[in-house]
Homo-oligomer: A and B are copies of this chain.
Amino acid sequence: MTLRILDGKQIADEIKAEVAREVKELIHQGTRPPQLTAVLVGENPASRVYVKNKGHTAEELGIESATIHLPETTPTELLLEEVRRLNRDDEVDGILVQLPLPRIINADQILDEIDVKKDVDGIHPANLGRLVLGQPCLEPCTPAGIIQILERSGIRIAGVRACVLGRSRIVGKPVAAMLLNRHATVTICHSKTPELASVTREADILIAAIGRPGFVTGDMIGPGATVIDVGINEISSQTDLARFFDGEELERRSVVVARKGRTLVGDVEWKSAIAVAGLITPVPGGVGLLTIAMLMKNVLEARKAKGR
Contacts and interface: CB of A to CB of B under 8 A. Distances in A.
Interface in A123-152: 124-130, 132-133, 135
Question: In the complex this chain forms, how many copies of it are found?
Answer: 2
Nearest to A128: B129
A185 B180 contact: no
Interface stretch (A72-80, A188-196, A231-239, A295-303): A188-196
Interface of A: 108, 124-130, 132-133, 135, 158-161, 167, 169, 173, 177, 180, 183, 185-190, 192-194, 199
B190 A187 contact: no
B124 A129 contact: yes
B189 A188 contact: no
B135 A129 contact: no
A161 B108 contact: no
Contacts of A125: 126, 129-130, 132-133, 135
10 contacts: A124-B129, A127-B129, A128-B129, A128-B133, A133-B169, A160-B194, A185-B187, A185-B188, A185-B192, A187-B188
Nearest to A172: B180
Contact of A188 (B126, B169, B186): B186
- What 7 A-B pairs have minimum CB-CB distances, sorted nearest first? A125-B129, A129-B129, A128-B129, A126-B126, A187-B187, A185-B193, A183-B192
Given A125-B126, A159-B194, 7 more contacts: A124-B129, A125-B132, A125-B133, A126-B129, A180-B188, A186-B187, A187-B187
Contact of A185 (B159, B177, B189): B189
From A128, A129, A133, name the one whose CB has the most chain B CB atoms within 10 angstroms. Answer: A129
Given A126-B125, A185-B189, A192-B183, A108 B135 contact: yes
Contacts of A133: 125, 128, 169, 173
